[in-house]
Amino acid sequence: MSATRFTYLGPEGTFTEAALRTLPEAATRELVPMVSVPAALDAVRGGEAAAALVPIENSVEGGVTATVDELASGEPLMIYREVLLPISFALLVRPGTKLSDVKTVTGHPVAQPQVRNWLRAHLPDAVWESAASNADGARLVQEGRFDAAFAGEFAAATYGLEALVTEIHDAENAETRFVLVGRPARPAAPTGADKTSVVIWQRDDHPGALLELLQEFAVRGVNLMLLQSRPTGAGIGNYCFAIDAEGHIADRRVGEALMGLKRICPKVRFLGSYPRAGAPASGQGGRPLRPGTSDAEFVDAAEWLARCQDGRG
């Protein structure tokens, strides 16, 4: 395995590259752009890279399905950390292009919902066509295939373009969450402000099936931060669920919740426990734990049960 190489969703100039360069370890790695999320992750699976940074969630559009589906299937991988990056777009054009000249625009599919209102107000007749990434859209503009691309302003210099308009976003404080993914290994030690990600499959479809899964978290005081369904490919109505929960697998409440899921689900894929980006290290992401859900209380309850079983209750 190449321990000196990180892959990311390319080409050069993507928000993913910008997010990757915020990590201290990126300064000592070879950063290799890939044409797609599956290609970036397959490089890790094949030992060509130690890790890959890929987008997984946007605060406007929601989950990045290509990443979620890729992590749910294929050879298992594990999330080691996450990065939050504020997102604001620039309209990149070839030098000399005026706004009235823009008839075709491009960008990543996740970008379109974040600039839809701006497009309606300023370029109502422009035709949108999606690109593999925002930076790839900039490359297509450079080649003359589109008049403009929505991308990071920092991508302009890479592709010889100009930022005709900057600070474009329909939603204030928009962010994209990226995850650094590697091959499975022992999770890092808990920090006190962690997140655990899993994908779970139902055994069968029946009334209350999803409630049964969620109760494994609720009765142990584990807060969920993300819940999204994805089709399994086995037919209409067959879904798996990607879940982000507050806490670390080493926390008793989280570990027992995962054991409960393993008992009632045909398949549970553990995607990792890792530090939450931007969260204070105290209890449960800055919130006090609910009574009865601390590790000490789980240990005390287990010791009480043992005493009862031994006739020492």
Beta-carbon count within 10 A of 213 CB: 22
Fold annotation for 89-168: D-Maltodextrin-Binding Protein; domain 2 (3.40.190)
Omega before 11 within 30 of 0, i.e. cis: yes
pLDDT at 260: 95
**Residuewise pLDDT in 10s, the chain (313 residues):** 567 899 999 999 999 999 999 999 999 999 999 999 999 999 999 999 999 999 999 998 888 999 999 999 989 999 999 999 999 999 999 999 999 999 999 999 889 999 999 999 999 999 999 998 999 999 999 999 999 999 999 999 999 999 999 999 898 888 999 999 999 999 999 999 999 999 999 888 888 889 999 999 999 999 999 999 998 888 887 889 999 999 999 999 999 999 999 999 999 999 999 999 977 654 445 567 888 888 899 999 999 999 999 988 6
Domain with CATH 3.40.190.10 in the chain: 1-86+174-184, 89-168
Residue 277, judged by CB atoms within 10 A of its CB (0-12, 13-18, 19+), counts as middle
Fold annotation for 1-86+174-184: D-Maltodextrin-Binding Protein; domain 2 (3.40.190)
Polymer length of the chain: 313
pLDDT at 282: 46
pLDDT at 286: 57
End-to-end Cα, the chain, rounded Å: 54
pLDDT at 244: 97
pLDDT at 313: 67
CA atoms of 93 and 145, how far apart (whole Å)? 11
pLDDT at 284: 47
Domain with CATH 3.30.70.260 in the chain: 186-312
pLDDT at 280: 61
Looking from the CA of 119 toward its CB, the CA atoms found within 13 Å total 22
- CATH node for 186-312: 3.30.70.260
pLDDT at 173: 86
